[in-house]
Structure 1
Amino acid sequence: MHTTALLRAARDARLAPSILNSQPWRWRTGGSALELHADPARQLPHIDPHGRLMTISCGAALHHARVALSAAGHEPVVDRMPDPGRPTLLARITIGPARPPTSESLAAYDSMRRRRTERRPFAADARVPAEALTRVRAAAEAERAHLYVLDSPDVEYLRYAAQGAHTITAHDTLAAAELRQWTHRDNAADGVPPATVVPDAPRPVPVRDFGLGAEAELPPGSGDDSGAEYLVVATSGDEPADWLGAGEATSAAWLTATTEGLGASPMSEVVEIPGARVLVRTLLPTREQPQLVLRVGVPPACGPPPSPRRPATGVVTEG
């Protein structure tokens, strides 16, 4: 029975967000345990040379699996980084005592299935309610990370960080080629499809240029992002265990935002470039390590299309 529940959780966890929708994880069941492995073959060596974003992505998948188990009435028991001799083994999940699902766990599971990456600009006349931001922050901080909401002066510095990151990336031919590889996929099971990308438009803080130009198919709408909030996911350390926790916190924040009727998209480019990351670090009230920025706002009534997902047979291994 536990094996069936763990397999179902691994399949549900395929819905987790990841850097360029690379889905850099593998799941393996063995007896009464489910193992989460990073998949180095799916690491982006030029954009993410240290594997930070790959591990954050895996952390989001880990949190998704936990949500699925909780919604099914199971207590997930997680052993993170269980074997120093196997660095790709990031977590091992077993099932604890039965626990009836709560309204919160059911809502999180529903949001897990509805969550999308919202790249369209958010409208100026629809502000994010303060109570919703409080709940999003609490969800992240229940994991092993902190979430900081940037105020207006800090958003200006975030703009400088994003502009600098984009300028450097534009002159990095290897990173540009890697980006193109993941936005022009023959295999529709991963990567960033044009249907989920909006054409370039003026915003207070520029977002990643996916290099699609006229190929970007998602109409941007009438928003200008002046109603957006920018949230920094940060950790006290900067080791793989911290990156994994940042991914779990990102997932928790994003699912809560979805439950609150908010849209979100990650801004990983401001942590990919060392200089930009240093600038973002100066915006934090403590000497913590920024791992990701989430852009959050009130989305258009009609959500964006979903990104593709790899079939379970290529992600989940039994035995």
Structure 2
Amino acid sequence: MSNAEEVKKALVQAADAARFAPSIHNTQPWRWVVRGGELRLFGVAERQLTEQDPEGRMLLLSCGTALHHAQVALDAEGWRYEISRPEEGPLAVIRPTVREPIQPEATRHLQMLRVRRTDRRTVTEDAVPEDVLAFLAKAAEQAGSRLHVLGRDQVLELAAAVDQAQKAQDTDERLRAETAIWVGGDRPDGSGIPASALPEELPLTTVAERDFQTRGTLAAGEGHDQGATYAVLYGTGDDQADWLRGGEALSRLWLAAAEQAVNLLPLSGPVEIASSRAALRQMLGGLGYPLLAVRLGNLDPAHSAPPTTPRLPSDQVIEIAD
């Protein structure tokens, strides 16, 4: 196999691995093009939540998680690469350079792509250890973002911001109609959140989970969120490149959490509403721009993982242009 063929194979495999990246409402709003030894990432407007995410921030965050997943796949094959983020055209371009011996941690990170879940069940009363929180904060920082762990008083402020955002979204009929398209029931088309990934009822927690206005089939579990840790993932800017990098950081943080057997639940609702996002930025002392809030906690070890959410087939998200 020639070097060009090796590179092409690696890029197709990386794009395929990126299909398992998390995205807002599992919209998977990305498209990959393999061309001339490059892997190009594009956002897909047809899978953007135009009512919930009119400025495309969650789309960019989602594409950033896919971009990081592709990097994890290349790392696991020993490829070194360069990444550019053009101001026009593709969101990012990956160019493999040389191949080196595979590092054990790279293989472990790849395994986490399949282990990671969006699990909305309640967590146990056992708090995440401080050294694990420090490990997760470092993972986010290495990817270019920061993780601000909230104190008790700030958790109550987060709860108020989440409630404020939920009420604003509940009164928006067009937003509710858009959500209904992507959430609930069976998802035979390979996208969206199926009922099997949603709780039968919303758990009674201090910080409420998003109410999708539909019930699922997953038992929410007992308990509260007393053992949970809440944090805000934030970046230093608010431009397209910042949100894309924020998605990369979210992916790295999520995979690091999975590696530590910590459940991460993203809370994007308070970032989607201007007033509640301002409240989150105030929690940061105005030092950064909030990307989303997260809940970190330990799941009941007696519970099996929820079913995987569906994924679009490869030929719908990967184009081989050579």
Do both proteins adopt the same fold according to a TM-score greater than 0.5, normalized to the shorter chain?
A: yes
Once residues 257 and 75 of structure 2 are traced to their aligned partners in structure 1, the CA distance between those partners, rounded to angstroms, is: 19
Which structure 2 residues correspond to residues 158-307 of structure 1 after superposition, within 5 A? 158-184=158-184, 187-198=188-199, 199-213=201-215, 216-301=216-301, 302-307=304-309
Query: Residues 141-197 of structure 1, C-alpha deviation per residue, up to 9 Å, x if partnerless?
Result: 111211111111110100000010111111010111111110146534010111111
Q: CA deviation at 1:286?
A: 4.3
* 2:132 aligned counterpart, secondary structure: helix
Q: CA deviation at 1:52?
A: 0.1
- Establish whether residue 60 from structure 1 lines up as the match of residue 65 from structure 2: yes
Query: Residues 224-266 of structure 1, C-alpha deviation per residue, up to 9 Å, x if partnerless?
Result: 1211111211111101100001000000000000000111111
Once residues 201 and 257 of structure 1 are traced to their aligned partners in structure 2, the CA distance between those partners, rounded to angstroms, is: 22
Where does residue 91 of structure 2 map in the other structure?
A: 90
8 Å contact 2:187–2:193 — kept in the other structure? no
Once residues 101 and 61 of structure 2 are traced to their aligned partners in structure 1, the CA distance between those partners, rounded to angstroms, is: 29
Once residues 239 and 268 of structure 2 are traced to their aligned partners in structure 1, the CA distance between those partners, rounded to angstroms, is: 17
Q: Tell me which amino acid in the other structure corresponds to 1:144.
A: G
* 1:202 aligned counterpart, secondary structure: coil
Q: CA deviation at 1:100?
A: 2.0
Identity %: 37
Where does residue 138 of structure 2 map in the other structure?
A: 138
8 Å contact 1:120–1:223 — kept in the other structure? no
Q: Tell me which amino acid in the other structure corresponds to 1:134.
A: A
Once residues 102 and 258 of structure 1 are traced to their aligned partners in structure 2, the CA distance between those partners, rounded to angstroms, is: 19
Q: CA deviation at 1:96?
A: 2.0
Shift in alpha-carbon separation, 1:298–1:186, aligned structure 2, 3 A: closer
- Calculate the TM-score normalised by the size of structure 2: 0.94
Once residues 72 and 129 of structure 2 are traced to their aligned partners in structure 1, the CA distance between those partners, rounded to angstroms, is: 25
Where does residue 20 of structure 2 map in the other structure?
A: 15
Runs of 4+ with >3 A deviation: 184-188
Moved more, 277-286 or 97-106: 97-106
Once residues 198 and 283 of structure 2 are traced to their aligned partners in structure 1, the CA distance between those partners, rounded to angstroms, is: 28
5+ residue gaps, structure 2, are 1-5
* 1:160 aligned counterpart, secondary structure: helix
Once residues 241 and 2 of structure 1 are traced to their aligned partners in structure 2, the CA distance between those partners, rounded to angstroms, is: 26
Q: Tell me which amino acid in the other structure corresponds to 2:219.
A: P
Once residues 140 and 56 of structure 2 are traced to their aligned partners in structure 1, the CA distance between those partners, rounded to angstroms, is: 22
Q: Tell me which amino acid in the other structure corresponds to 2:261.
A: G
Shift in alpha-carbon separation, 1:262–1:85, aligned structure 2, 3 A: closer
Moved more, 135-144 or 4-13: 135-144
Q: Tell me which amino acid in the other structure corresponds to 2:249.
A: A
Q: CA deviation at 1:103?
A: 2.5
Once residues 218 and 209 of structure 2 are traced to their aligned partners in structure 1, the CA distance between those partners, rounded to angstroms, is: 15
* 2:97 aligned counterpart, secondary structure: strand
8 Å contact 1:9–1:69 — kept in the other structure? yes
Moved more, 300-309 or 65-74: 300-309
Where does residue 117 of structure 1 map in the other structure?
A: 118
8 Å contact 2:28–2:62 — kept in the other structure? yes
8 Å contact 1:266–1:292 — kept in the other structure? yes
Query: Residues 243-299 of structure 1, C-alpha deviation per residue, up to 9 Å, x if partnerless?
Result: 001000000000000000111111110100111101111111442110111211111
- Establish whether residue 35 from structure 1 lines up as the match of residue 34 from structure 2: no
* 1:282 aligned counterpart, secondary structure: helix
Q: For this pair of structures, how many residues does the alignment match? A: 312
Where does residue 311 of structure 1 map in the other structure?
A: 313
* 1:230 aligned counterpart, secondary structure: strand
Once residues 229 and 167 of structure 1 are traced to their aligned partners in structure 2, the CA distance between those partners, rounded to angstroms, is: 24
Q: Tell me which amino acid in the other structure corresponds to 1:54.
A: L
Query: Residues 15-70 of structure 1, C-alpha deviation per residue, up to 9 Å, x if partnerless?
Result: 00000000000000001000000001110001000000000000000000000100
